Amino acid sequence: MTIASIRRLSPACGAEVSGLDITQPLGADRVQELHQALGENGILLFRDARLSPEQHIAFSRQFGPLEAHVVGDFNLPGHPEIFVVSNVKEEGKIKGAVYAGQYWHSDLSYMPKPSMGSLLLCHEMPKIGGDTMWANMYQAYNALSDVMKNFIGGLNAVHDYSNAYDTYFAHLKERPPLTPEQRAKTPPVEQPMVRTHSVTGKKALYVNPGFTTGIVGMPREESQPILDFLFRHSTRPEFIYRHQWRPHDLIFWDNRCTMHYALADYDFSVRRHMHRTTIAGDVPY
Decide if 284 is inside a domain. Answer: no
Boundaries of domain holding 187: 5-279
Contact present, 45 and 251 (Cβ < 8 Å): yes
Decide if 234 is inside a domain. Answer: yes
Decide if 200 is inside a domain. Answer: yes
CATH number assigned to the domain comprising residue 118: 3.60.130.10
Any catalytic annotation for residue 273?
Answer: no
Of 56, 69, 175, 260, the catalytic one is 260
Any catalytic annotation for residue 107?
Answer: yes
What is the distance in angstroms between the CA of the first residue and the CA of the last residue of the chain? 32
Decide if 177 is inside a domain. Answer: yes
Of 35, 56, 69, 107, the catalytic one is 107
Three-class SS of the chain: CCCCEEEECCCCCCEEEECCCCCCCCCHHHHHHHHHHHHHHCEEEECCCCCCHHHHHHHHHCCCCECCCCCHHHEECCEEEEEEEECCEECCEECCCCCCCCCCECCCCCCCCCCCEEEEEEEECCCCCCCEEEEEHHHHHHCCCHHHHHHHHCCEEEECCHHHHHCCCCCCCCCCCCCHHHHHHCCCEEEECEEECCCCCCEEECCCCCCEEEECCCCHHHHHHHHHHHHHHHCCHHHEEEECCCCCCEEEEECCCEEEEECCCCCCCCCCEEEEEEECCCCCC
Measured CA to CA, the distance from residue 37 to residue 148 in angstroms comes to 29
Q: What is the pLDDT of residues 197-209, one digit of tens each?
A: 999 999 999 999 9
Of 35, 56, 69, 105, the catalytic one is 105
Any catalytic annotation for residue 276?
Answer: yes
Is the overall model pTM greater than 0.85, yes or no? yes
Decide if 285 is inside a domain. Answer: no
Decide if 221 is inside a domain. Answer: yes
Q: How many domains does the chain have?
A: 1
Decide if 114 is inside a domain. Answer: yes
Per-residue pLDDT of the chain (285 residues; tens, 9 = 90+): 467 799 999 999 999 999 999 999 999 999 999 999 999 999 999 999 999 999 999 999 999 999 987 777 889 999 999 999 999 988 878 888 887 888 999 999 999 999 999 999 999 999 999 999 999 999 999 999 999 999 999 999 999 988 877 776 666 666 666 777 877 788 999 999 999 999 999 999 999 999 999 999 999 999 999 999 999 999 999 999 999 999 999 999 999 999 999 999 999 899 999 999 999 999 999
Q: What is the pLDDT of residues 245-270, one digit of tens each?
A: 999 999 999 999 999 999 999 998 99
Decide if 38 is inside a domain. Answer: yes
Any catalytic annotation for residue 233?
Answer: no
